[in-house]
Amino acid sequence: MRFRSTGWRNSSNVAGRSGETPKEVLKGTSGTLVVDAYTGYNAITGPDGRTRAACMAHVRRKFYNALKSGCQEAQVALDYILDIYHVEHDAKAAGVTRQPRHMEMRRARSGPIMESFHRWLLANEQSYPPKGTMGNAILHALKNWQALTEFLKSEQIPVDNNLSEASLRIVALSRKNSLSIGHDEAGENLARVLTMAVTCQANGVNPLEYLADILLRVQNWPHEHIDDLLPASWLRLNEAGQLPPLNPA
């Protein structure tokens, strides 16, 4: 099962931010999708699709907005969320991220924090107008509670999709420069290159070294093992010395 944290990408057949886009891009895949509450992902999550995991950073943002609007009680929610991130920070500092020890830390520390947070949300649900910033933040958290707790089931599931959000900022920053791209096909080609680059970046791979290597390999690489040339798999094989030489003697 593959877990991934991702935003949507346009395909050659689907353009726009509709539910058809994730259906086209992620069709035939399984695992957990870490996303915000955008309804466009409903088409691929649920009983017959991917498991949906919610983004803690989006929940935090709503309570932060409530705090800025003058609701001091929002600080309680922010403190609960901060405690969750303390666990993630400690796992990273200990070098056990995405390892079984990480899951042990989540069960021992994050689980009780989330239980207390949930009780607090339920106790305050009726205390604020649902359309106010605080009421909206509480309702958002409760509505997405099951998805918010998915990270407690596997160390492979991140607590937020900030990595994807950061990658998408590259697209947003290049939007103006792309106005003169020429035509749709050129835009799609550029999107593929940017996707490759940010995927390399996310996996600690030098994009230029990666491209220089796989462009020579891909011509003769077995089709059934083509996933081995994706950045994360390529890095693992390369570090293990399991990639065949490009120019065998």
Model pLDDT for residues 211-223, shown as the tens digit of each residue:
999 999 998 899 9
Residue 197 pLDDT > 50: yes
Show me where the domains of the chain are located. 3-53, 55-152, 163-239
Residue 10 pLDDT > 50: no
Write down the pTM of the prediction.
Answer: 0.69
CA distance 56 to 149: 9
Confidence of residue 45 (pLDDT cuts 50, 70, 90): confident
- Please choose, from the candidates 188, 215, 211, the residue with its C-alpha nearest in 3D space to the C-alpha of residue 200: 211
- Please choose, from the candidates 234, 182, 65, 18, the residue with its C-alpha nearest in 3D space to the C-alpha of residue 243: 234
Of 1-5, 60-64, 185-189, 238-242, the poorest mean pLDDT is in 1-5
What's the whole-number mean pLDDT along residues 105-131?
97
pLDDT at 9: 40
DSSP string, 177-230: GGGGS-SHHHHHHHHHHHHHHHHHHHTT--HHHHHHHHHHHTTTS-GGGGGGGS
In the block, tokens 């998408």 appear at 168
What's the whole-number mean pLDDT along residues 167-187?
75
pLDDT at 48: 67
Residues 179-193 pLDDT 10s: 778 788 888 888 888
Structure tokens at 168: 């998408």
DSSP string, 119-175: HHHHHHGGGS-TTSHHHHHHHHHHHTHHHHTGGGT-TTS-S--HHHHHHHHHHHHHT
pLDDT at 247: 67
Residue predicted with more confidence, 192 or 149: 149
Residues 82-104 pLDDT 10s: 999 999 999 999 999 999 999 99
CA distance 102 to 85: 13
CA distance 7 to 115: 28
What's the whole-number mean pLDDT along residues 191-203?
86
CA distance 149 to 38: 18
